Structure 1
Amino acid sequence: MKLFGLMHRIYPIDQDGTRVASTDLAAGYEVELDGPVSLFRKSQKYGIRMANFLPALPLCDRWEMRAEILDEGSAGDTKQFTLDHTDGLVSHYSTGQRFDSDVERTLTRKWERATTEWDLQREDDVFDLGSEVMIPDFAIEHPDGRRAIMEIIGFWTPEYLTSKLAKIRQIEADNFVLAVSERLDCSDEDFGDSADRVLWFKTGMHVYDVVELAEEYASPVETGRD
Structure 2
Amino acid sequence: MLTADLVRATRRGGELKLSGLGGKARERALEIAEALLSEASAQVGRTRDEVKDAMGQVWVEGREKKLLDGLGKLVDDACDFEVETELEPAELRAKLFSLATELRRELPAGTSFDRAAVLSQVAAELGHTTDRLEGALFADLKGAHVLRRLEALTPIALLERYELAQRQAVLLRAVRVRARVRCRAPADYRRLFHALKFRRLLFRLKPAEEGYVIELEGPFSMFESVTKYGLNLALALPVLEQAEELELEADLRWGKTREPLTFRYQHRADTPASWPVEDELDTFVKSFKKLKSGWQVAPAEVLLEAPGLGVLVPDLCFSPPTGSEPVYFELLGFWSRDAVWKRVELARSGLEAKLLFGVSERLRVSREVLDDLNDAALYV
Smaller-chain TM-score bracket: 0.5 to 0.7
Partner-residue secondary structure (3-state), 2:363: coil
The answer to whether residue 288 in structure 2 is matched with residue 95 in structure 1 is no
Q: What are structure 1's unaligned runs of at least 5 residues?
A: 15-26, 202-226
Whether contact under 8 Å (2:251, 2:260) holds in the other structure is yes
> Residue by residue, what CA displacement relative to the aligned partner does 1:46-99 show, whole Å, maximum 9, x if unpaired?
12211221111222112211112211322x42222222224x6889x8324455
The answer to whether residue 234 in structure 2 is matched with residue 51 in structure 1 is yes
Whether contact under 8 Å (1:63, 1:85) holds in the other structure is yes
In structure 2, how many angstroms separate the alpha carbons of the residues matched to 1:194 and 1:48? 37
Whether contact under 8 Å (1:67, 1:80) holds in the other structure is yes
Counterpart position of 1:177: 356
Q: What are structure 2's unaligned runs of at least 5 residues?
A: 1-195
Bigger Rg, which one: 2
The answer to whether residue 342 in structure 2 is matched with residue 163 in structure 1 is yes
In structure 1, how many angstroms separate the alpha carbons of the residues matched to 2:331 and 2:229? 17
The answer to whether residue 260 in structure 2 is matched with residue 78 in structure 1 is yes
TM-score (norm 1): 0.67
Displacement of 1:189 in angstroms is: 3.6
Partner-residue secondary structure (3-state), 2:252: strand
Aligned match for 1:115, one of 257, 279, 292: 292
Change (3 A) 1:128 1:199: closer
In structure 1, how many angstroms separate the alpha carbons of the residues matched to 2:378 and 2:288? 16
Partner-residue secondary structure (3-state), 1:2: helix
Displacement of 1:6 in angstroms is: 0.6
The answer to whether residue 181 in structure 2 is matched with residue 4 in structure 1 is no
Kindly provide the amino acid, as one letter, of the partner of residue 237 in structure 2. Answer: L
The answer to whether residue 305 in structure 2 is matched with residue 128 in structure 1 is yes
Counterpart position of 2:136: none
Whether contact under 8 Å (1:4, 1:99) holds in the other structure is no
Calculate the aligned-residue CA RMSD, in Å.
3.0
TM-score (norm 2): 0.42
In structure 2, how many angstroms separate the alpha carbons of the residues matched to 1:170 and 1:149? 16
Change (3 A) 1:98 1:44: farther
Please identify which structure carries the higher helix content.
2
Change (3 A) 1:191 1:63: same
Change (3 A) 1:46 1:106: farther
- In the alignment of these two chains, the number of paired residues is 183
Aligned match for 2:316, one of 114, 132, 138: 138
Whether contact under 8 Å (1:3, 1:98) holds in the other structure is no
Change (3 A) 1:196 1:183: farther
Partner-residue secondary structure (3-state), 1:161: helix
Partner-residue secondary structure (3-state), 2:241: helix
- Paired-residue identity, %: 25
Partner-residue secondary structure (3-state), 1:54: helix
In structure 2, how many angstroms separate the alpha carbons of the residues matched to 1:44 and 1:195? 39
